[in-house]
Structure 1
């Protein structure tokens, strides 16, 4: 399949496919005219790449997960890798919640000091409509 066909079937841009190749996540060959040619399983692989990215995994981890997938399944190493990534995301989420809470406290303090906005319970500014 040519790059445009894979992009259309996978629901991604041609640019995304080129990026996946640059990251060594997707492979193609070239025909005599220099055009990229993909195997029939490229669309399925792109779907997996997209799911892994949407799970918050960086390219380096996606590459490793793909190599395990090519080998035929979920090895203990793959489970360990995914567990470590989940734990990393949990730490990031905690850090973001802490930063949001500090920002909320700053907004509340500014309000007490005469600022115009009133803090809401969820950390988002109110727009005056109730």
Structure 2
């Protein structure tokens, strides 16, 4: 499939897809005229890339994990495992921070509800 179809199927803009290639996150084959061509596996790959980016994972970290999306060498798999462990720890910390913020917000909301009930 060409870049337009991959864009439609994944929701990623053509510009984003080209950026993913520049960052080493995605590889395409080229036709004789230079057009990019992608396979079905690229649809899933783009979905994973977008999910990681939405979670705040950097393109550099994603590039380190890419070998685990194909057949990695042992060294690539080890590097990917270290990156994934580091990203998991970072996300776990972020989730905990959000939980604390959510609890604080809920406390403020309850205080506000009580105030409104007393003054209505």
Q: TM-score range by the shorter chain?
A: 0.5 to 0.7
Q: Secondary structure at the match of 2:56?
A: coil
The 1-side partners of 2:37 and 2:11 are apart by 17
Q: What displacement does 1:76 show? A: 6.3
Q: Which residue number in structure 2 is paired with residue 81 of structure 1? A: 83
CA RMSD between the two structures: 2.8
Distance change >3 Å, CA 65–CA 37, structure 1 → 2: same
Gaps of 5+ in 2: 101-106, 110-115
TM-score, with normalisation over the residues of structure 2? Answer: 0.66
Distance 2:11 2:30 in 1: 22
More displaced, 33-42 or 79-88?
A: 79-88
Residues 1:48 and 2:48 are matched in the alignment: yes
Deviations 1:21-75 (A, max 9, x none): 1101011122122211112211111011111112221111101111122127xx6
Aligned length: 100
Normalising to structure 1: TM-score of the pair?
0.61
For residue 63 of structure 1, what is the aligned residue in structure 2?
63
Tell me what 1:7 maps to: 7
Post-superposition Cα deviations, 1:105-129, rounded to whole Å, max 9, x if no partner, equal xxxxxxxxxxxxxxx937xxxxxxx
**Paired residues of 2:66 and 2:80 also in contact (CA < 8 A):** no
